[in-house]
Amino acid sequence: MQDVADSPFVYFVHSYYCAPEDKNVIAASAEYGIEFTAMLWKDNIYATQFHPEKSQEIGLKILKRFGELF
């Protein structure tokens, strides 16, 4: 998440979110009335609850960082 603002605005399509038992896999959270998991990371798997492809410049930056991981 280098070069990504501390509190970026990203696009969520719905209100569903996961609540992992292992809190160590939470890479990012968001707040919209409540705090919830927005991104997970375990080993070489990354998952976002939001849509980076619809999140304009910040989403492109996140996708670029994903691509640079491998």
Q: What is the pLDDT of residue 11?
A: 66
* Residue 2 clears pLDDT 70, i.e. is over it: no
Residues 47 and 26: their CA atoms lie apart, in Å, by 10
Q: What is the pLDDT of residue 69?
A: 76
The band of 7, judged by pLDDT with boundaries at 50, 70 and 90, is: low
Query: CB–CB of 3/61 below 8 Å?
Result: yes
pLDDT tens digits along 34-61: 998 888 989 988 888 887 788 778 778 8
Rg for the chain, CA atoms, rounded: 12
| Structural domain range at position 6 | 1-70
30: β partners: 36
Burial classification of residue 38, based on how many CB atoms lie within 10 Å of its CB (0-12 exposed, 13-18 middle, 19 or more buried): buried
The band of 32, judged by pLDDT with boundaries at 50, 70 and 90, is: confident
Helix (H, G, I), strand (E, B) or coil at 67: helix
Number of domains the chain contains: 1
The reported pTM is 0.71
